[in-house]
């Protein structure tokens, strides 16, 4: 906010400086910022649809018995909620939207290494999304398997599973190509003086994420093709009546889908590591440990998938090893939390919207992560596995973690690209509603799980009724906060107060370019002389 | 090496309390520190940062070491508790739980079946888990035990009920439309009462049949006419069969002499088309028992009691989706169904039919042929039911007025 008064938005920026306009200048653009915004609009569209489906699920669960829909509809709605949220929002969301918008500028590059491949990735995403949407309205109707597509049920159900998994397969390619693009960009296109030790922590997290995308996603691709083969050709790889093994499917699925959780959360940790120093006016505490722990999480996190299978019938030795490795992954996450909190010590803290989202991220991610310890221990997992406890834990980590970081990133970075900003006090009210509603909704679920209510339940016994009602009321508070946040944010971006080049006083490179940035980002090729959180070195008062 | 604690609950709950306790202490610590910093160093009180510290090797070493020790402790306690869940006490009572879409059925060693899991208080119970179709999950929240039920895979759980009472038993792995209705209960009763219940019989059964069960004959030879590993015993007496005697085919008529010889020297006259796998029962069965069995076989299957439709409806899980009281479930209610006019969809074409014997029989064997309007085509087909069982079910449904 320091320089807002004496600044008017640049007249020439990536919005108009190519001289092209109209829809084709966007959907065929190779500019990483335009592609980033295309991703942003696409993922937010699917996010809002999936939120609405989630709200319907909560209304159905408000009271025992039928409330607004039948069991088959309910099963389809929770499946589609999961598929849209995971495969079309949170996995492509961070790399696609903020990875594209921010990462090239933060390393001092004009664009990503392969701009046309970048555009192709977005088109693949849209093609896959179109196929998934088509699968809801054709064939046997929307899939009713849950987003995990567990066999042999997914082989036998008459719903449109084949087309849906094909769509997810296509979206997977988009993710792999984005990963390849980003790893190459970070290795090859850093500006002069941008040593590895000067990379912003968001870039480090995008880098770790990109490796997971490259290495893990192909396994999901293969697994989904095998489901198709099972359904269409009856190959019998997973079907026990044909000599197949359902547990093999579960291993293949989670070899991707557990690391995928880190694709969702790592960039969120990166965002938080960038926001906190700026709003505390202090260098991040333990830069090297945070950067290293991102890589450690990406590496060790690829070896813990079996903790989804403690009750599956997998051998006890496998349970021993996977439980051990799961606890090992907890260590780098704990290090990050301690470092973030220490950064606040003796700082000068300003509680604006991005900072509120960042601080609530720490709390919600801690609750989700600590609940994860109960799931990681073999004895306690047996009781809470496949219950509402897992649903609560997962939403704490992915919505309270990755989701809140995504909202924080929207408040922190989007004004930079639009040249205008949202109304601050409204943003704080929206955050408060979201935060309170969130905890009511999902904490109730964790308690329900400890009491023994299984997940994916359309109906439940009367003993679970009170907390389900509480959870549903919480979801209404949360959604009102969400609507207020979106309206305030986008109204502000198009019509709000104009902002200057560096409204928050950040020391990373994106704050050294005009607002909004020009198509080639930098007017002169940058030479980096200081670290990402060296505010004195960047000349920020 | 790892002595069993008394119950599965006692194996899990201390681990739960330990991890939960540590988590709460950590969470409260982190939150309070964060709030204290935010208040103390808020820009209104602290307009400029008073430190530019970017790290501290000593501090960071401490907070790598500290969580490492904590999580390794959690891992170890969790593992020890898990081992207790896996080590089944030697004296456990064995029961087989059979899961199908969407019902449970429990079979005891003496052949008794039940749709609720009756167990004696204070005695460990070993439950072997069998699935007839897709994945299911056997979950007893009160005893902290859960295990997936996987087709063609031998899984088990054990637990012990300390107090008598009724405990919820859920399906924990999503299995389709009726998943949330796949609920039954564990009924823990005093041991004496359990023995009485276990030995109560549906009707007076022939002693010969009990002997066939006792010796495991029925694992390979059925009483209903279907061939299994060996030929069926239905109407076997007086039947004309082709047998192989020392590799030569000959046709004989089954009489007392032949039956006795087949029990004691099964490979002497082997019925053509069956593998020579039956063990000899010489020395394992008394002469009196053989006589009782042969007497039973004289009656030729008539002694097999007529199936009980109400019991079948319960055990095969019909009642999980079809109510008896007129309320609508996953499927239409049985109440007043017989002779009712129904609008059904056949290959997508709407038509009106009367729910008569033929329709009810078809709906059990091929449920997707005609779907009552307003319901989902989700009922699995029960074509593995025997003819007389289907008839019994149809008669039962006709009786629900």
Q: Shortest Cα distance from B153 to chain A (angstroms)?
A: 8
- φ and ψ at residue B172, rounded to 5 degrees: -100, -15
Query: In A, residues 159-218, which contact B (CB 8 Å cutoff)?
Result: none
More confident of the two residues A457 and B330 = A457
pLDDT over 70, % of chain A: 98
Residue A8: pLDDT over 50: no
Q: If pLDDT is split at 50, 70 and 90, which confidence band does B203 have?
A: very low
Q: Are the beta carbons of B209 and B223 closer than 8 angstroms?
A: yes
Rounded to an integer, the average pLDDT of A52-62 is 97
Of all residues in chain B, the one with the smallest CA distance to A363 is B31
pLDDT over 90, % of chain B: 39
Q: Is A426 in a helix, a strand, or coil?
A: helix
Residue B71 and residue A330: Cβ atoms within 8 Å? yes
Nearest to A380 among B12, B37, B176 (CB): B12
Residue A150 and residue B15: Cβ atoms within 8 Å? no
A455 reaches B (C-beta below 8 A): yes
Tell me the pLDDT of chain B averaged across its residues: 86
Q: If pLDDT is split at 50, 70 and 90, which confidence band does B270 have?
A: confident
Rounded to an integer, the average pLDDT of A298-307 is 93
Query: In B, residues 79-98, which contact A (CB 8 Å cutoff)?
Result: 79-86
Q: If pLDDT is split at 50, 70 and 90, which confidence band does B213 have?
A: low
Query: In A, residues 260-289, which contact B (CB 8 Å cutoff)?
Result: 280-289
Buried b / exposed e over A298-318, threshold 16 CB at 10 Å, is: bbbbbbbbbbbbbbbbbeeee
Distance CA A47, CA A488 (A): 17
Q: In this predicted structure, which of B126-140, B201-215, B299-313 has the lowest mean pLDDT?
A: B201-215
Q: Shortest Cα distance from A145 to chain B (angstroms)?
A: 7
Both tokens assigned to A355:
């900072």
Closest by CA to B9, choosing from B92, B124, B91, B111, is B124
Distance CA B359, CA B376 (A): 18
Rounded to an integer, the average pLDDT of A392-397 is 97
Query: In B, residues 36-55, which contact A (CB 8 Å cutoff)?
Result: 37-38, 41-43, 46-55
Closest by CA to A294, choosing from A325, A275, A322, A268, is A268
pLDDT at A4: 39
- Domain definitions of chain A by residue range: 25-512
Rounded to an integer, the average pLDDT of B194-217 is 72
pLDDT at B5: 56
Q: What would the pLDDT profile of A71-99 be if each residue is shown by its tens digit?
A: 889 999 999 999 999 999 999 999 999 99
Q: Angle at CA B315, nearest 5°, toward B314 and B317?
A: 70
Instruction: Measure CA A136 to chain center.
Output: 23
Residue A2: pLDDT over 50: no
Q: What would the pLDDT profile of B330-353 be if each residue is shown by its tens digit?
A: 888 888 888 888 888 888 788 888
A376 reaches B (C-beta below 8 A): yes
A359 reaches B (C-beta below 8 A): yes
Closest by CA to A223, choosing from A157, A306, A166, A146, is A166
The residue of A308, A382, A540 whose CB has the most chain B CBs within 10 angstroms, and thus the best one to mutate to test that interface, is: A382
Both tokens assigned to A121:
């990735």
Residue B204: pLDDT over 50: no
Residue A499: pLDDT over 60: yes
B166's enclosing H/E stretch is strand B165-171
In this structure, which topology does domain A25-512 adopt according to CATH?
Answer: Cytochrome C Oxidase; Chain A (1.20.210)
Tell me the pLDDT of chain A averaged across its residues: 93
Residue A281 and residue B48: Cβ atoms within 8 Å? yes
B344's enclosing H/E stretch is strand B341-346
Q: If pLDDT is split at 50, 70 and 90, which confidence band does B225 have?
A: confident
Enter the ipTM. 0.91
pLDDT at A7: 40
Residue A6: pLDDT over 50: no
* List of chain B residues whose C-beta atoms are within 8 Å of the C-beta of residue A286: 54-56, 60
Q: In this predicted structure, which of A64-78, A246-260, B17-31, B359-373 has the lowest mean pLDDT?
A: B359-373
Rounded to an integer, the average pLDDT of A185-198 is 96
pLDDT at B275: 64
Distance CA B397, CA B401 (A): 8
Establish how many alpha carbons lie within 13 A of residue A300's alpha carbon, considering only the half-sphere containing its beta carbon: 19
**What is the DSSP secondary-structure string of B253-294?**
E--HHHHHHHHH-TTTEEETTS-S-PPP-TTTS-HHHHHHHH
The residue of A150, A349, A446 whose CB has the most chain B CBs within 10 angstroms, and thus the best one to mutate to test that interface, is: A349
The position carrying tokens 């897992």 is A390
Query: Considering just the CA atoms, what is the radius of gyration of chain A in Å?
Result: 23
Nearest to B38 among A334, A349, A370 (CB): A349
* List of chain A residues whose C-beta atoms are within 8 Å of the C-beta of residue B16: 374, 379-380, 383
Q: Are the beta carbons of B161 and B188 closer than 8 angstroms?
A: yes
Structural domains in chain B? 8-86 (1.10.287.90), 93-199 (2.60.40.420), 207-298 (1.10.760.10), 309-399 (1.10.760.10)
Of all residues in chain B, the one with the smallest CA distance to A347 is B49
Q: Is B303 in a helix, a strand, or coil?
A: coil
CB atoms within 10 A of CB A410: 24
**What is the DSSP secondary-structure string of A269-307?**
HHHHHHHHHHHHTSPPTTHHHHHHHHHHHHHHGGG-GGG
Q: In this predicted structure, which of A41-45, B56-60, B151-155, B388-392 has the lowest mean pLDDT?
A: B388-392
Q: Shortest Cα distance from A1 to chain B (angstroms)?
A: 14
Rounded to an integer, the average pLDDT of A465-492 is 97
Q: In this predicted structure, which of A2-16, A351-365, B190-204, B228-242 has the lowest mean pLDDT?
A: A2-16
The position carrying tokens 């700082």 is A347
Q: Is B38 exposed, middle or buried (0-12, 13-18, 19+ CB in 10 A)?
A: middle
Nearest to A378 among B46, B59, B79 (CB): B79
Of all residues in chain A, the one with the smallest CA distance to B64 is A335
pLDDT at B228: 56
DSSP state of A99: I
* List of chain B residues whose C-beta atoms are within 8 Å of the C-beta of residue A254: none
């Amino acid at each position: 906010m320091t320089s807002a008064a004496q600044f008017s938005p640049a007249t020439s920026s990536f919005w108009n400086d190519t001289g092209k306009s109209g829809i084709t200048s966007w959907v065929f653009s190779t500019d990483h910022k335009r592609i980033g915004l295309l991703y942003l609009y696409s993922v937010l569209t699917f996010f809002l649809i999936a939120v609405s489906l989630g709200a319907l699920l909560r209304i159905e669960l408000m009271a025992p018995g039928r409330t607004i829909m039948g069991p088959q509809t309910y099963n389809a709605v929770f499946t589609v909620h999961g598929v849209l949220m995971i495969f079309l929002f949170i996995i492509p969301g961070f790399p696609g939207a903020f990875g594209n918008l921010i990462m090239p500028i933060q390393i001092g590059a004009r664009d990503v290494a392969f701009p046309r491949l970048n555009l192709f990735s977005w088109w693949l995403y849209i093609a896959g999304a179109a196929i998934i949407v088509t699968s809801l309205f054709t064939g046997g109707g929307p899939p009713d398997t849950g987003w995990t597509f567990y066999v042999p049920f997914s082989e036998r159900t008459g719903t449109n599973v084949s087309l849906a998994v094909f769509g997810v397969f296509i979206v997977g390619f988009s993710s792999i190509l984005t990963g390849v693009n980003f790893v190459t960009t970070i290795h090859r296109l850093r500006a002069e003086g941008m040593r590895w030790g000067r990379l912003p922590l968001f870039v480090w997290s995008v880098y770790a994420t990109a490796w997971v995308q490259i290495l893990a996603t192909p396994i999901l691709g293969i697994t989904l093709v095998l489901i198709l083969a099972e359904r269409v050709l009856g190959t019998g790889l997973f079907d026990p009546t044909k000599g197949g093994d359902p547990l093999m499917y579960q291993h293949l699925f989670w070899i991707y889908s557990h690391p995928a959780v880190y694709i969702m959360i790592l960039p969120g940790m990166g965002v938080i590591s960038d926001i906190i120093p700026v709003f505390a006016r202090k260098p991040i505490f333990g830069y090297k440990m945070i950067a290293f722990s991102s890589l450690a999480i990406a590496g060790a996190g690829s070896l813990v998938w079996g903790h989804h299978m403690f009750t599956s019938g997998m051998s006890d030795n496998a349970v021993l090893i996977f439980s051990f490795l799961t606890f090992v992954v907890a260590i780098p996450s704990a290090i990050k939390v301690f470092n973030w909190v220490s950064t606040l010590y003796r700082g000068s803290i300003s509680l604006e919207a991005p900072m509120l989202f960042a601080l609530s991220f720490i709390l919600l991610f801690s609750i989700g992560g600590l609940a994860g310890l109960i799931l990681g221990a073999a004895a306690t997992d047996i009781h809470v596995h496949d219950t509402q406890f897992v649903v609560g834990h997962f939403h704490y980590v992915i919505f309270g973690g990755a989701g809140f970081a995504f909202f924080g990133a929207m408040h922190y970075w989007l004004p930079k690209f639009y040249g205008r900003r949202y109304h601050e006090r409204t943003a704080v009210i929206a955050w408060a509603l979201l935060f309170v509603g969130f905890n009511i909704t999902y904490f109730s679920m964790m308690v329900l799980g400890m009491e023994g209510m299984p997940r994916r339940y359309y109906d439940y016994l009367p003993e679970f009724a009170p907390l389900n009602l509480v959870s549903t009321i919480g979801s209404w508070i949360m959604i009102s906060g969400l609507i207020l946040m979106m309206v305030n944010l986008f109204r502000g971006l198009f019509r709000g107060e104009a902002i200057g080049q560096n409204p928050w006083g950040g020391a990373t490179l994106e704050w050294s370019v005009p607002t909004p940035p020009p198509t080639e980002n930098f007017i002169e090729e940058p030479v980096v002389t200081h670290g990402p959180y060296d505010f004195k070195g960047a000349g920020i008062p | 090496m790892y002595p069993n604690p008394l119950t599965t609950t006692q194996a899990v709950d201390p681990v739960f309390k330990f991890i939960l306790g540590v988590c709460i202490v950590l969470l409260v610590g982190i939150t309070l520190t964060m709030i204290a910093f935010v208040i103390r160093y808020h820009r209104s009180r602290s307009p400029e940062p008073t430190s530019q510290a970017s790290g501290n090797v000593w501090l960071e070493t401490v907070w790598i070491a500290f969580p490492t020790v904590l999580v390794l402790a959690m891992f170890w306690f969790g593992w020890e508790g898990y081992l207790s869940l896996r080590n089944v006490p030697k004296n456990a009572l064995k029961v087989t739980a059979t899961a199908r879409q969407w019902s449970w059925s429990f079979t005891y060693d003496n052949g008794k079946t039940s749709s609720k899991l009756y167990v004696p208080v204070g005695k460990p119970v070993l439950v072997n888990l069998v699935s007839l179709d897709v994945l299911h999950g056997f979950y007893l929240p009160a005893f902290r035990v859960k295990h997936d039920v996987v087709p063609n895979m031998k899984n088990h759980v054990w637990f012990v009920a300390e107090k008598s009472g009724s405990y919820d038993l859920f399906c924990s792995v999503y299995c389709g439309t009726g998943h949330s209705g796949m609920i039954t209960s564990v009924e823990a009763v005093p041991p004496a009462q359990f023995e009485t219940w276990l030995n109560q019989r549906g009707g007076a059964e022939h002693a010969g049949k009990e002997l066939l069960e006792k010796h495991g004959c029925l694992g390979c030879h059925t009483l209903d006419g279907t061939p299994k590993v060996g030929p069926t015993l239905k109407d076997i007496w007086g039947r004309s069969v082709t047998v192989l005697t020392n590799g030569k085919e000959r046709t004989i008529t089954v009489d007392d002499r032949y039956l006795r010889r087949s029990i004691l020297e099964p490979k002497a006259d082997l019925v053509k088309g069956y593998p020579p796998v039956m063990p000899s029962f010489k020395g394992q069965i008394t002469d009196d028992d053989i006589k009782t069995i042969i007497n039973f076989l004289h009656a030729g299957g008539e002694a097999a009691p007529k199936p009980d439709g109400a019991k079948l409806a319960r055990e095969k899980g019909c009642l999980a989706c079809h109510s008896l009281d007129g309320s609508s479930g996953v499927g239409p209610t049985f109440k007043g169904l017989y002779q009712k006019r129904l609008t059904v969809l056949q290959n997508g074409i709407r038509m009106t039919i009367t729910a008569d014997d033929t329709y009810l029989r078809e709906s059990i064997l091929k449920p997707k042929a005609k779907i009552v309007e307003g319901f989902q085509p989700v009922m699995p087909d029960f074509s593995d039911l025997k003819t007389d069982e289907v008839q019994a079910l149809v008669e039962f449904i006709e009786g629900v007025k």
